[in-house]
Structure 1
């Protein structure tokens, strides 16, 4: 009897010891992940999930349901900007060979930048640009990242809306002769479109819901691309030979085009939100989304530039659509398609702005519809107010874009990667870290170039093609 009691006592001690060991492991795991938990984004909580012997971090407040294809549509729509209309002009200033080299380099660098973002996010289990800044530099880093995203994307929205007003005004001039109908005035029309189209789409709770409108926006730009190709074969060409490479007597004109191409693939504020909502998310899967989106936009950019340039050669203007006849029915439809595409891009751009505002003002608050709607309404009201009543707002945000765009593409992803990836995993002198340092340096070079060119524009009064 005594032996049986001792045996049961030993078994009980063993069970208790086993439980304590497991408890200690759980505590260590919690401590290991504590830094991710303290930097958690709004509405995001994490649980450890064992997969293939590795502990992965996953969201538990909702499961990503956006398909692979819809994610590609959203990211492609975020990349695609009205800057596509200026690429033929850029090719005219650089020549075909140099343009192709620059565009290819920028596409590769943009994909590498997204790789740095995803790698940094994977290390700490964070899928928010602002929280990566918090992880790297504390609250100042979070404020810096959120501010840059807000200014860059508001600037992007302003450029889209200004282009909308500009194109709609041209449509009015083409279709109404001397009539002056208020409902086709660009300023009134953008308010109507903002209330009836942009605002309802911006009120969507998830970015993934915009996949259908992003797909339609891209189809409008495909129509634009097909029309540009068609017009090449039916338009009488100027008597000018193709320039494979241009040594422009005004070197400044060639240099001006480099920032245009450099910022043609800006989409980085949208990458992590799209990653968060991706179905069956993984770094590899999201990198594929990014690579396919960048490749798709690369092809569209390249084909548009080549056929636009080969149609008008050195006579091409900074906005390609200005080169076509105002009485051409096909190009009238193309202008309308571009208007629709620009309109449907705005809600996608708005999502990262709202998230940045939430991170700055309400970092610990759960999702609430009143807050969600109020921020969207205030942002649209502010942007429309600036566009209508501040005549030089394009120049102001052009200067902001010269600093924010290289920061989002080159500087911040590289710095986050250097600071967040542990030195035990990758020492500072390792090849990946050295590449990241070079990447950051390149970003500062582009920033200095862009600011210099904008100052030259202000001093000389010479305007050049817009960017993204």
Structure 2
């Protein structure tokens, strides 16, 4: 539950865009997708371990960059790569949706909704894609990006922002009990400390590897 905002930050904006929406239907969608994800994750983990055994990498995709020592090894490698490409194609619109909405709200505050301006939507998409592709070429290892994203963005979405929202509501008269205020401040302080320690640790790790 503590990571709900991190893993499913795009549920609310997507829900607001649906026609004929209702909490019951959305809950049903959530249950179905959760079951499907569990099945896919278990199948992937089990298949990777059965195929590679103790040589299974933390990112099982890296295991498919070499000869597997089995029949039709190259064919299987290409199937996995194509499957991952299809995965990215299907996931990208869902993830990019929230990013584009957030940037639009920050840059074009007070303007018409993004859904009513195809030109602005296309322009933002092209600019953001260009920045993403440029950044990806500058980072040699995807895990480097994951580490810093986890230490900053993930912590902010999951812990820093929720605690700030709770404290802001308290100042606006939405009475919080003394215990709730204490927990909000505690979560905020811990989130900031964890984020700082995580960033410093990642930088130290990169320097150690370079040496």
User: Would you say same fold, with TM above 0.5?
Assistant: yes
Query: 2:151 aligns to what?
Result: 402
1:301 aligns with 2:49: no
3-state SS of 2:57 partner: coil
Which structure carries more helix by proportion?
Answer: 2
**Aligned pair partner of 2:86 in 340, 343, 346:** 340
- Residue 358 of structure 1, CA deviation: 1.4
Does 2:111 match 1:365?
yes
| TM-score (norm: length of structure 2) | 0.71
**Pairing 1:71-90 to 2, within 5 Å after superposition:** none
Match 1:457 to one of 171, 195, 205: 205
Structure-1 separation of matches of 2:122 and 2:81: 31
Aligned to 1:315: 55
Q: Distance in 1 between matches of 2:24 and 2:183?
A: 20
Q: CA deviation at 1:407?
A: 0.8
| Contact 2:151-2:195 within 8 A present in 1 as well | yes
Structure 1 or 2, whichever has the larger Rg, is: 1
Map of 2:12 onto structure 1: 272
How many Å separate the matches in 2 of 1:370 and 1:444?
A: 38
Return closer, same or farther for 1:348/1:393 CA change in 2, 3 Å cut-off.
same
Give, in whole Å, the separation in 1 of the partners of 2:19 and 2:135.
Answer: 38
Contact 2:139 2:145 in 1 (8 A): no
Cα distance, 1:412 vs. partner? 1.1
Query: Using the alignment, how far apart are the partners of 2:46 and 2:190 within structure 1?
Result: 27
Give the 3 Å change call, closer, same or farther, for CA 316–441 of structure 1 in structure 2: farther
Match of residue 375 from structure 1: 124
Q: CA deviation at 1:284?
A: 6.4
| TM-score of the superposed pair, with normalisation by structure 1 | 0.36
Extract unaligned runs of 5+ from structure 2: none
Superposed counterparts of 1:186-335, under 5 Å:
266-268=7-9, 270-281=10-21, 286=26, 289-290=29-30, 293-294=33-34, 296-309=36-49, 311-324=51-64, 325=67, 327-328=72-73, 329-335=75-81
Summarize deviations over 1:247-293 as a string: whole Å, max 9, x none. Answer: xxxxxxxxxxxxxxxxxx6231x122112123444566656655654
- 1:385 to partner: Cα distance: 3.3
2: CA distance between counterparts of 1:312 and 1:445? 38
> In structure 2, what is the equivalent of residue 250 of structure 1?
none
Whole-Å Cα distance in 1 between the matches of residues 82 and 197 of structure 2? 34
Change (3 A) 1:393 1:338: closer
Q: Matches of 2:15 and 2:132 in 1, distance apart? A: 27
SS in 2 for 1:461: helix
> Contact 1:414 / 1:440 at 8 angstroms: preserved in 2?
yes
| Residue 393 of structure 1, CA deviation | 8.1
Which residue number corresponds to residue 109 of structure 1? 2
- Structure of higher RCO (CA pairs closer than 8 Å, 6+ residues apart): 1
In 2 relative to 1, CA 424–300 (structure 1 residues): closer, same or farther, beyond 3 Å? farther
Q: Give the secondary-structure state (helix, strand or coil) at the position aligned to 2:122.
A: helix
Which residue does 1:417 correspond to in 2?
A: 166
CA separation of 1:447 and 1:354: change in aligned 2, threshold 3 A: same
**8 A Cα contact 1:414 1:436, kept in partner:** yes
Number of aligned positions between the proteins:
200
Q: Is the 8 A contact 1:418 1:428 kept in 2?
A: no
